[in-house]
Amino acid sequence: MQRVFKGKVWKFGDDIDTDIIIPTQHVTIETMEEMKWHAFEPLRPELAKLITPGDILVGGKNFGCGSSREQAPEVICALGVKCVIAKSFARIFFRNAINNGLLLIESPELPDHCEEGDIVTVEINSKLVCNGREFAIPAMPDNLFTIIEDGGLVKSMKKRNNIID
């Protein structure tokens, strides 16, 4: 994973729950490729078709709340989203996202200073830049970054243990 990258913002408010990210009626679809087209359907039915690889989701407080549905971060990855930046994340979503190789960045300030369509530059373990303004972000522990970089926990464990599929 690149340590510096840019992406277009898709913006959300507070309390985006896993039922909004991927509604219950779609979690039994056989492939993630098919399932991803239903992402965010209750909130914005057209959004999954508008997101392009490398885009960034920006949310408010408690992003990913609700059930412990692992398909929620998985479907975000399937859309090609580079990372999710939010004021805060639900705890179980945070862990599920890391396990699926999705980069999450907490920033209490950025969501209030960007708009949908803005471009955000992410410098991992350093800062976010949007509209000429910089926002400090906490450093990610190396072990979590390694899991994300490897594409998730299972892939990281296989790599660490030299297991080839």
Q: What is the pLDDT of residue 143?
A: 92
Instruction: Assess whether pLDDT exceeds 80 at residue 165.
Output: no
Q: Confidence band (pLDDT; 50, 70, 90) for 59?
A: very high
List phi, psi (to 5°) of 79.
Answer: -75, -10
In sequence order, what are the residues at sequence separation of 6 or more whose Cβ sits closer than 8 angstroms to the Cβ of residue 45?
A: none
pLDDT digit string, tens, across residues 11-52: 999 999 999 999 999 999 999 999 999 999 999 999 999 999
Q: What is the pLDDT of residue 61?
A: 98
Q: What is the pLDDT of residue 8?
A: 98
pTM of the model: 0.94
Q: What is the pLDDT of residue 1?
A: 72
- CB burial of 92-107 (b: ≥16 within 10 Å; e: otherwise) equals bbbbbbbbbbbbbbeb
- Does CATH place domain 4-160 in 1.50.10.20? no
Q: What is the pLDDT of residue 82?
A: 94
pLDDT digit string, tens, across residues 90-140: 999 999 999 999 999 999 999 999 999 999 999 999 999 999 999 999 999
Rounded to whole angstroms, how far apart are CA atoms 66 and 84?
17
Domain residue ranges of the chain, discontinuous segments joined by +: 4-160
End-to-end CA, the chain: 21
Q: Confidence band (pLDDT; 50, 70, 90) for 68?
A: confident
